[in-house]
Chains A and B, each alone.
Chain A
């Protein structure tokens, strides 16, 4: 009996030591996971940054197509689609998705288990998104001008400018002409923001590991303000959390 009990205990200790009992991720890392990997509300339940990157690529393609068009109605339609992919909130356009990614990094920074690394990096990341947000706002304004335009030449010129802004949103720009694209936050695009977030992740201790979908989709806030995982797995969105 004693031997059997000892064996059972030994086995349990061994299994635990080998890491067979999975430890839940930190709340901060789940919030980071929403920015990076997946969240229940986006198309395809992808992470906000992934959605933002995809939208940024789509905007470039649409704006470049519009800039080459000589047919005013078609040009306007392509620009309208580019504006939607940039600024739509309902369809998680580039701007909205990026802001949400930044928000979730801020959520991570305010979590009780947040590392000093995340606490310090979150406001910097939020600040560094501003140039992309600004370009999105400009695309919106120029899109309205295209929509109101009656001249193909004017609309083409504006579509060309939108295409340049879209490209800068994707790859960054060299605004100060120092030969370095995305050399400072005022030149950042999604490429540089992705690198910055990768840097934040690399600086995490304990190390960040890809968060399992169950945790990503079942983080809920209790009425007392605490974040917990919904053991019933109801798929998140409790209390409107997005």
Chain B
């Protein structure tokens, strides 16, 4: 408060010198508006009477009122040649220069506060692996390579190499020649490969964590990881994340029979109650060539979310399947039992195609 007051006193001091703007105006950082009517009129008046000190002072005051401190200084400096050693002009010039330096000072102070926030977040990101702090720092400086590196490092430390990889790639875009970025990106890729391997081979909790850490949306292996996660969650009797993983896998690569069986089993056991689950169930049942059931699920989805994308297309597909179903079902009942057994083994709680639900 006292600091603030002192700036006001400075403004009072300047006001004493005949300058009418306040320090608070300078602090507000308002932009110079040198095309306003008063400025234009004052400029015209000075232009008509260039030797008039009163006209020059009027223009300087008007420019300061419009936050144009630099221009006010120049106006007064131009007057020095015409009115050398004029004490009032010198006084106004001193005050106007002070406004310029004060404006710089406040800008510097604001920058200092901002820099302190970035430094604090960078420190927490770097030394404590605080990812929230990393994100806060990036909000202020989104392309800062040091912050991106720190976030990547924090993600590696948190065994999230897939996300780290993406962050390092952003850093590489910002600084293609940075050697540390290249080193860290390679390290993250190696960590991800190792986790990917554990995800696919193992069934432990560590394997599930490895899958989560290795998952990159849009990557070539996203389907494999999502479907594996669906299975691992299903084995742990966690239907909600299992269904979410299968739905994600189905979105990446629709038509996979194993994933379809997983979705149907989970929506059977835990009644689907939202549009996404009904739509996923419908899509899975189409994959399993169970048109009538698919149609029922898709209609439910349509009731809940009429604007859901691709729903009409799926319904049309299901209608075609349903129309052909009696004939196909008979064929299916006589189809190779090998596939069904294999799927049943993989998804022990999955519904076998051909059974009624």
- Cβ of A179 within 8 Å of any chain B Cβ, yes or no, is no
Q: How far is the CA of A109 from the CA of B14 in the complex (A)?
A: 11
- Which chain B residues numbered 92 to 125 have a C-beta less than 8 Å away from chain A? 94-95, 97-98, 100-102, 104-105, 108-109, 111-113, 115-117, 119-120, 123-124
Inter-chain pairs besides A90-B2, A106-B105, A138-B119, 19 sampled, C-beta below 8 Å: A89-B3, A96-B3, A100-B6, A102-B105, A103-B6, A103-B10, A106-B102, A110-B10, A110-B14, A123-B100, A127-B105, A130-B108, A133-B109, A134-B113, A134-B116, A137-B112, A137-B115, A225-B13, A240-B5
What residue of chain A has the Cβ atom nearest to residue B87's Cβ?
A112
Q: How far is the CA of A127 from the CA of B98 in the complex (A)?
A: 13
What residues of A have a CB within 8 angstroms of the CB of B97 in the complex?
Answer: 119, 123
> What's the minimum C-beta distance from B116 to chain A, rounded to whole angstroms?
4
- Cβ of A157 within 8 Å of any chain B Cβ, yes or no, is yes
Contact partner, B98, options A109, A154, A221, A240, Cβ 8 Å: A109
What residues of B have a CB within 8 angstroms of the CB of A126 in the complex?
Answer: 101, 104-105, 108
Interface flags for A208-242 (1: CB within 8 Å of B; 0: not) read: 00000000000001001110000000000001111
Q: How far is the CA of A163 from the CA of B128 in the complex (A)?
A: 17
What residues of A have a CB within 8 angstroms of the CB of B10 in the complex?
Answer: 103, 106-107, 110
Specify the main secondary structure of chain A where it touches its partner: helix
Contact partner, B12, options A138, A141, A221, Cβ 8 Å: A221
- Cβ of B16 within 8 Å of any chain A Cβ, yes or no, is yes
Q: Is the CB of B105 within 8 A of A123?
A: yes
Given A96-B3, A240-B5: A134 touches B112 (CB 8 Å cut-off)? yes
Interface flags for A166-205 (1: CB within 8 Å of B; 0: not) read: 0000000000000000000000000000000000000000
Q: Is the CB of A224 within 8 A of B3?
A: no
- Which chain A residues numbered 45 to 104 have a C-beta less than 8 Å away from chain B? 89-90, 96, 99-100, 102-103
What residues of B have a CB within 8 angstroms of the CB of A140 in the complex?
Answer: 116
- Cβ of A142 within 8 Å of any chain B Cβ, yes or no, is yes
Q: How far is the CA of A103 from the CA of B108 in the complex (A)?
A: 14
> What's the minimum C-beta distance from A86 to chain B, rounded to whole angstroms?
12
> What's the minimum C-beta distance from B189 to chain A, rounded to whole angstroms?
30
Specify the main secondary structure of chain B where it touches its partner: helix
- Cβ of B37 within 8 Å of any chain A Cβ, yes or no, is no
Residues of chain A having any CB pair with chain B under 8 Å: 89-90, 96, 99-100, 102-103, 106-107, 109-110, 112, 114, 119, 122-123, 126-127, 130-131, 133-135, 137-138, 140-142, 145, 154, 157, 161, 221, 224-226, 239-242
- Cβ of B91 within 8 Å of any chain A Cβ, yes or no, is yes
Number of A-B contacts (CB under 8 A): 106
Contact partner, A138, options B6, B100, B111, B120, Cβ 8 Å: B120
Q: Is the CB of A109 within 8 A of B94?
A: yes
What residue of chain B has the Cβ atom nearest to residue A137's Cβ?
B116
User: Can you list 30 A-B contacts (CB < 8 A)?
Assistant: A89-B1, A89-B2, A99-B3, A99-B6, A100-B6, A106-B98, A106-B101, A106-B102, A107-B10, A109-B94, A110-B17, A110-B98, A112-B91, A112-B94, A114-B94, A119-B94, A122-B101, A126-B105, A126-B108, A130-B109, A130-B112, A134-B111, A134-B112, A137-B113, A142-B123, A154-B128, A161-B127, A221-B16, A224-B16, A225-B15
Q: How far is the CA of A103 from the CA of B100 in the complex (A)?
A: 14
Q: Is the CB of A130 within 8 A of B116?
A: no
What residues of A have a CB within 8 angstroms of the CB of B123 in the complex?
Answer: 142, 161
- Which chain B residues numbered 14 to 33 have a C-beta less than 8 Å away from chain A? 14-17
- Which chain B residues numbered 247 to 301 have a C-beta less than 8 Å away from chain A? none
What residue of chain B has the Cβ atom nearest to residue A119's Cβ?
B94
- Cβ of B347 within 8 Å of any chain A Cβ, yes or no, is no
> What's the minimum C-beta distance from B223 to chain A, rounded to whole angstroms?
40
Given A123-B104, A126-B105: A96 touches B2 (CB 8 Å cut-off)? yes
Q: Is the CB of B105 within 8 A of A226?
A: no
Q: How far is the CA of A215 from the CA of B3 in the complex (A)?
A: 23
What residue of chain B has the Cβ atom nearest to residue A141's Cβ?
B120
Contact partner, A242, options B6, B13, B94, B112, Cβ 8 Å: B6
> What's the minimum C-beta distance from B298 to chain A, rounded to whole angstroms?
51
**Ordered nearest first, which 7 A-B pairs have the shortest CB separation?**
A225-B16, A123-B101, A137-B116, A134-B112, A138-B116, A141-B120, A130-B108
Q: Is the CB of A225 within 8 A of B120?
A: no
Q: How far is the CA of A209 from the CA of B41 in the complex (A)?
A: 48
What residues of B have a CB within 8 angstroms of the CB of A90 in the complex?
Answer: 2
Given A103-B7, A123-B104, A142-B120: A130 touches B111 (CB 8 Å cut-off)? yes
> What's the minimum C-beta distance from A105 to chain B, rounded to whole angstroms?
11
> What's the minimum C-beta distance from A15 to chain B, rounded to whole angstroms?
32
What residue of chain B has the Cβ atom nearest to residue A89's Cβ?
B2
Q: How far is the CA of A96 from the CA of B10 in the complex (A)?
A: 16
What residues of B have a CB within 8 angstroms of the CB of A130 in the complex?
Answer: 108-109, 111-112
What residues of B have a CB within 8 angstroms of the CB of A103 in the complex?
Answer: 6-7, 10
What residues of B have a CB within 8 angstroms of the CB of A242 in the complex?
Answer: 2, 5-6, 9
What residues of B have a CB within 8 angstroms of the CB of A138 in the complex?
Answer: 116, 119-120
